[in-house]
Structure 1
Amino acid sequence: MNIKESITKLSGVGAKRAENLATLGIETIEQLLGYYPFRYEDIQERKLAEIQDQEKVTIKGLVVSPAVLSRFGYKKSRLQFRMMQEHDVFAVSFFNQPYLKDKVEVSTEIAVYGKWDAKRKSLTGMKILAPKQEEDFAPIYSVNKAVRQATLIQLIKQGFEHYYDAIEENLPLSLIEKYRLLSRQEAMYAMHFPKDATEHHQAKRRVVFEEFFLFQMQLQQLKQKEKSESNGMAISYDVDALKAFTQQLPFELTGAQKRVTNEICRDLLSPNHMQRLLQGDVGSGKTVVAAIGLYATKTAGFQGALMVPTEILAQQHMESLQQLYEGFDIKVALLTGSTKVKERREILSQLASGEIDVLVGTHALIQEDVNFARLGFVITDEQHRFGVNQRKVLREKGLKPDVLFMTATPIPRTLAITAYGEMDVSIIDELPAGRIPVITRWVKPPQLEKVLEASLEELGKGHQMYVICPLIEESEMLDVQNAVTIFEELQDFYGDRYQVSLLHGKMKNQEKDAIMETFKNNESQILVSTTVIEVGVNVPNATMMIIIDADRFGLAQLHQLRGRVGRGAAASTCILVANPKNDTGKKRMQIMTETTNGFIVSEKDLELRGPGEVFGNRQSGLPEFATADLVADGHILEVAKIEAESILQQKGWEILPDYQPLVNYLGEQKEGQYFD
């Protein structure tokens, strides 16, 4: 007996049924037994006195009136009768199940599962239960037209009957005892047919830990393999030259910047391949850290590359680096999709000859014809949607350079552990001295007029302002005022006093650049924009931001937008204009007014929206777990990671008796099952 056997080994499963089960991803006995319910119905019989309004319950009682069937509309019907439990009489209704009439006989006892309405003292029935119900919890599975619930339950019962003893343990006994986990056999069975809520909780706890732990074992082994292969290059930079460069910077590095710079420099010196994620909140000074790493690379005779998602950001990074490197012998070039053909040819030639030390650009950097003479260090900024495999492609370009991923989108711990588990993580958790936190206020749309009046005072001090809109064009589905309308309204409001400009995603790149240039130079004081300014735009003189229909944005996006102000010495304000329709929307507005800490914002965003939405499901590189939930079970994930790391740090762990079930199980799994 082996649970890896085909599902066709069970009686009643021929070719057609096997084909139908395959549509649910069930082809083996193991997949059948591991196909867990997505919820359970509590079918233990309850007394009327203890039932809450709108609760789904099972009520047992005596039928005291004949069942009356009435029909209305096309194929619609209602079956009504009365039941009595002890001395209480209540009404029962079934909709569109006329065939149940024969099961309802006066003076017989039946059990009905349904939703209780306390005010009307009535039950909207869902099903009539069989007389002798063994379990108190009925499993509900995700099925399709090809496979019925009853069929699936019958096959799962048959599977356990024949294969229960064939279920082998896959966790070390030491972990099972340490965390008081059920055995794999007990947990798999109780996930389908728990005796009570406590047993279900214990089964789920074991299954979630197992899922996270096996994932972490694979991920940490991948990380170890990368490091042990020493397939990187040691970048032996000039320590004195690097010290001279950091000492001439026009500001003192924060403690956090010094710490992460040391971590990056240590990785550069090591012959092992660097894979590091640098997280830093908006305005924490990641660009300076990147500049130091790139300068170190140049002093060792290697080239560096800085890849960013947008041309505006590439241009800005280019300018920042040129300022920081002023007076130092380091050549920086910019390569984007709109670089002219002649200029591009020249850049590619100088890159191949080694004349260019640092190349800044968009995805144009990883095109086939871009060849570096001696690429040693690649930094990618805001690429938090790269999955594990996409990061692998980048690492394998050229000479396997060291790679640093930077993000200003603080990633909640649970997502960082799963999406970036194969990387080392550095965090800049301190803002540079003198940065004044942005004051955030939430107002309703009718108060916008007052906000605009208040803006006159700010603009009167010579400062500038952003006005952010969620859409470019009118949409029938969304009643959002578009950027063009707001631009025209603001032109009317400010008249000749201040210059208003408009920026949106439909414009050509040159047009966008020209508008950004006029705003940077304070030739226009108010910039009406869609979210093209979300990442990296730096205008220190802008001290006010108004976000229209702020409830249309995610929390992380609002935090990114807010980070465009408060970049200079003056106090800044961000006004959220929104009238959220539900509690979640209101909660999001409150969170934004209560904290400017991006890590807190990201955690709250995760709680409210779930990992798929926060990270973008398909591009996220997030593994899909069958039972585990990254939000609700985050604490279990942390424990699983610690245990996996601890095992892998033991020399020769693979031959220790306690780990044999784990070694066998991992060996049977197709490599990288979570990283497809």
Structure 2
Amino acid sequence: MKSLQDPVAKLTGVGAKTADALATLEINTIGDLLTYFPSRYDDFAPTNLEQAADKQKVTVHGTIISEPLLTRFGYHRNRLAFRLTAGHGVVNVVYFNQPYLKKQAVLNADVTVLGTWNRGRQEIMGAKLVSANNEQSMGAIYPVNKHVRQATLRKLIKQAFNKYSDVIATLLPIHLRQQYQLLDRKTMIHDMHFPKDGAAAKAARRTAAYEEFFLFQLRLQAIRLAHRQEDGNRILYNNSELRDFIKTIPFELTHAQKRVVNEICRDLRSPYQMNRLLQGDVGSGKTIVAAIAIYATIIAGYQAALMAPTEILANQHATKLAKIFAGTHVHVGLLTGSMTAKEHRLFLEKVASGEINLIIGTHALIQDPVHFANLGLAIIDEQHRFGVQQRQLLREKGKSPDVLAMTATPIPRTLAITSYGEMDVSVIDEMPQGRLPVKTTWLKSDQSEQALMFLKNQLAQGAQAYVVSPLIEQSEKLDVQNATDLYERYAQYFEPQYKVGLLHGRMDADEKGQAMRSFADGKIDVLVATTVIEVGVDNPNATVMLIYDADRFGLAQLHQLRGRVGRGDKQSYCLLVADPKTEEGVARMKTMVATTDGFVVAQKDLELRGSGDILGKKQSGVPDFKVGDPIADLKMLQVARSDAENLLKTPDWDKKDENQPLVLYLQRHELSTHFD
């Protein structure tokens, strides 16, 4: 029985060496080979040379009418020249350093020449030479490497299609193909590789992109459905007691916060395991939403755990939540690496007995010695900083605890529906009332004196400031400001009138903690730091964020740094000192000045850098689509998600004969249990 799962070695001419070479392109099976699609096409449609502009790329069909002449000059340099009939005239054709074309370029041969037109000399500078018996008007160009040649790939794809086309089953349900006028899979694969013209290639790409998005979303939605079918804890908290707690909060929740609280509380009371992502810009009030969820969990008799990426952030959460929960049933415990062995043992005993019912810590929470009495809710803060495995270990600490992942890195809808498609997403898209947007200014390095004067003026008004550098110490390779030098310069400039402190990643936990506390207590006026302050420093009195060599930071990072100020009721400022050398660097600076909306910033970051770089592919799970572009094809991606959800909700969809290839596909992707 032939199958698309057959190894490529089944093809004629594919031995162990060729199979290994193909594996470097992640081509192992016939199916991999047939879905290894071209990145672009050469257009073989002929150009009218009479209308062609000078230096234009042209394609000409004709007959070679002079004996091709190969002239060698210099080391590995040569020139192949011949004359070609072109329409009603004759043109000269010249190829440089492609001596192997001499075999194809023979007198009286019919050929297609691709090259650049020199109108004055009536000459084509050749780039490619194709035999005219090629029936296609489009030539596929594949992404290859040093192990695999274009010609090899084309030949093997042609052979694979001829041998296996009769076992290519269509995966997309017929109603979707009819609704969107999509091709069957066999035609789509044929026209991706061997299109007869540009229209055929376009139609094939449209079908391939939709199929790719649909299959990806179907897998994610199947996982999501499975989560919903798993037995979770029904956290049946006392509603009036929770309302009384919310009344003690000294400010009115925003409409967005209220909406998100309702979404989370509905999940807590449901019988299935919550798997929700809480997105909110810096300063949008995620902590108080998490506190309400924690309180609901604890008054229902369960424990809650909060895992943060750094000790600084874990400490800050513990301090903040201890104040919020003062005088309630919530007993906060902070697990840190600096505990003595005795403190650690006593702490673990209190967690295991349930005496401590809110446990806060770093990844130490997921290590073996920590045993919970009755974990009901696991919260992961800045979740993209933890690997998938770490998040899963926290989930496994209790009996199917509800999971709330939080992030202050705004994720554009494009990424949310690809990388977090299996999660329910809640968004706080509204800032608390009275919060003033941070005023952002971009200065060139020769204007840095202005930044110092502005900073001095703010300090005179009782404010505090951050000064950020991309490096800790002087680098010979990079001509950028570094934290140690900046600290010395600022100390010389501002002390003794104002106290300057230093904070960077190489300091130990105690030194970092001391610097942070001194800054929070107002003992340090200017904190010179590296990006260690990107997450988790909260000082409402800090009103200035001054970033040197700002063009060396990504947009998401710049936005996170800017979010360290503007946390109180005073007007705050972000000064970017940068001399960007690239258009992308200039675009980043302009974006930061133009908007303080994290979702706008994140969308721009996505456009500039691409999806893989925003969260880091390994952790975010952002797929590397072969055909579809989640940015350019966002509408198609959203439609595919909706279609996948609707199909899974349709009774007995997986029993219909026409859908069996799709069911088999899902079973091969280890989702068979959802469709038995």
Interval containing the TM-score (normalised by the shorter chain)? over 0.9
Matches within 5 A, 1:490-505: 490-505=490-505
What does residue 275 of structure 1 align with? 275
1:315 aligned partner, one-letter code: N
TM-score w.r.t. structure 1 length?
0.92
Question: For the residues of structure 1 that align with 2:385 and 2:45, how far apart are their CA atoms?
Answer: 46
Question: For the residues of structure 1 that align with 2:459 and 2:91, how far apart are their CA atoms?
Answer: 69
Matches within 5 A, 1:371-390: 371-386=371-386, 390=390
Q: CA deviation at 1:378?
A: 0.8
Q: CA deviation at 1:306?
A: 0.7
2:176 aligned partner, one-letter code: L
The answer to whether 1:251 aligns with 2:251 is yes
Give the 3-state SS of the residue equivalent to 2:620 in structure 1.
coil
What does residue 114 of structure 1 align with? 115
Gaps of 5+ in 2: none
Q: CA deviation at 1:144?
A: 4.1
Question: For the residues of structure 2 that align with 1:562 and 1:479, how far apart are their CA atoms?
Answer: 23
The answer to whether 1:600 aligns with 2:600 is yes
1:252 aligned partner, one-letter code: E
Question: For the residues of structure 2 that align with 1:10 and 1:368, how far apart are their CA atoms?
Answer: 50
What does residue 71 of structure 1 align with? 73
Any conservation in 1 of the 2:380–2:391 contact (CA below 8 Å)? no
Question: For the residues of structure 1 that align with 2:611 and 2:119, how far apart are their CA atoms?
Answer: 37
2:113 aligned partner, one-letter code: V
Q: CA deviation at 1:427?
A: 0.7
Question: For the residues of structure 2 that align with 1:432 and 1:475, how far apart are their CA atoms?
Answer: 42
Q: CA deviation at 1:64?
A: 7.9
Give the 3-state SS of the residue equivalent to 1:11 in structure 2.
coil
Question: For the residues of structure 2 that align with 1:515 and 1:672, how far apart are their CA atoms?
Answer: 54
Matches within 5 A, 1:163-562: 163-230=164-231, 232-386=232-386, 390-562=390-562
Any conservation in 2 of the 1:275–1:403 contact (CA below 8 Å)? yes
Q: CA deviation at 1:276?
A: 0.7
Q: CA deviation at 1:593?
A: 1.1
Q: CA deviation at 1:294?
A: 1.0
| More off after superposition, 495-504 vs 375-384 | 495-504
1:71 aligned partner, one-letter code: F
Q: Per-residue CA shift, 1:475-501, capped at 9, x if unaligned?
A: 333221211122222223324332221
Question: For the residues of structure 2 that align with 1:279 and 1:122, how far apart are their CA atoms?
Answer: 60
Q: Per-residue CA shift, 1:106-161, capped at 9, x if unaligned?
A: 99875432355789987543322223332122112233444432232122222222
Give the 3-state SS of the residue equivalent to 1:570 in structure 2.
coil
Q: CA deviation at 1:85?
A: 5.3
| More off after superposition, 410-419 vs 15-24 | 15-24
Give the 3-state SS of the residue equivalent to 2:47 in structure 1.
coil
What does residue 47 of structure 2 align with? 46
Question: For the residues of structure 2 that align with 1:121 and 1:288, how far apart are their CA atoms?
Answer: 74
Q: CA deviation at 1:292?
A: 1.1
Question: For the residues of structure 2 that align with 1:49 and 1:644, how far apart are their CA atoms?
Answer: 52
2:471 aligned partner, one-letter code: L
2:428 aligned partner, one-letter code: I
1:173 aligned partner, one-letter code: I
Q: CA deviation at 1:92?
A: 5.5
Any conservation in 1 of the 2:60–2:113 contact (CA below 8 Å)? yes
Question: For the residues of structure 1 that align with 2:316 and 2:50, how far apart are their CA atoms?
Answer: 68
The answer to whether 1:140 aligns with 2:135 is no
Question: For the residues of structure 2 that align with 1:423 and 1:560, how far apart are their CA atoms?
Answer: 24
Q: CA deviation at 1:93?
A: 5.0
Matches within 5 A, 1:631-642: 631-642=631-642
Q: CA deviation at 1:445?
A: 1.0
Question: For the residues of structure 2 that align with 1:424 and 1:480, how far apart are their CA atoms?
Answer: 42
Count of matched residue positions in the alignment of Structure 1 and Structure 2: 671
Any conservation in 2 of the 1:542–1:566 contact (CA below 8 Å)? yes
What does residue 622 of structure 1 align with? 622
Give the 3-state SS of the residue equivalent to 1:58 in structure 2.
strand
Question: For the residues of structure 2 that align with 1:381 and 1:548, how far apart are their CA atoms?
Answer: 28
Q: Per-residue CA shift, 1:288-310, capped at 9, x if unaligned?
A: 11111111111112111111001
What does residue 662 of structure 2 align with? 662
| More off after superposition, 276-285 vs 204-213 | 204-213
1:348 aligned partner, one-letter code: L
Any conservation in 2 of the 1:354–1:374 contact (CA below 8 Å)? yes
Q: Per-residue CA shift, 1:250-280, capped at 9, x if unaligned?
A: 1111111111111111111122111111000
The answer to whether 1:566 aligns with 2:566 is yes
Any conservation in 2 of the 1:533–1:561 contact (CA below 8 Å)? yes
Q: CA deviation at 1:462?
A: 0.5
Q: CA deviation at 1:69?
A: 2.8
Q: Please tell me the root mean square deviation across aligned C-alpha atoms, in Å.
A: 2.7
Q: CA deviation at 1:436?
A: 0.5
Any conservation in 1 of the 2:365–2:394 contact (CA below 8 Å)? no
Question: For the residues of structure 2 that align with 1:455 and 1:122, how far apart are their CA atoms?
Answer: 65
Q: Per-residue CA shift, 1:335-381, capped at 9, x if unaligned?
A: 12223333222211211121112111111111100111111111010
Question: For the residues of structure 2 that align with 1:118 and 1:362, how far apart are their CA atoms?
Answer: 69
2:138 aligned partner, one-letter code: F
Gaps of 5+ in 1: none
Q: CA deviation at 1:90?
A: 7.5
What does residue 35 of structure 1 align with? 36
Question: For the residues of structure 1 that align with 2:60 and 2:294, how far apart are their CA atoms?
Answer: 71
What does residue 96 of structure 1 align with? 97
Any conservation in 2 of the 1:172–1:661 contact (CA below 8 Å)? no
| More off after superposition, 409-418 vs 553-562 | 409-418
Question: For the residues of structure 2 that align with 1:571 and 1:89, how far apart are their CA atoms?
Answer: 74
Q: CA deviation at 1:563?
A: 0.4
Question: For the residues of structure 2 that align with 1:153 and 1:399, how far apart are their CA atoms?
Answer: 53
Over 3 Å counting, the alpha-carbon distance change for 1:394 and 1:92 in structure 2 is farther
Any conservation in 2 of the 1:260–1:426 contact (CA below 8 Å)? yes
Any conservation in 1 of the 2:61–2:132 contact (CA below 8 Å)? no
Give the 3-state SS of the residue equivalent to 2:139 in structure 1.
strand
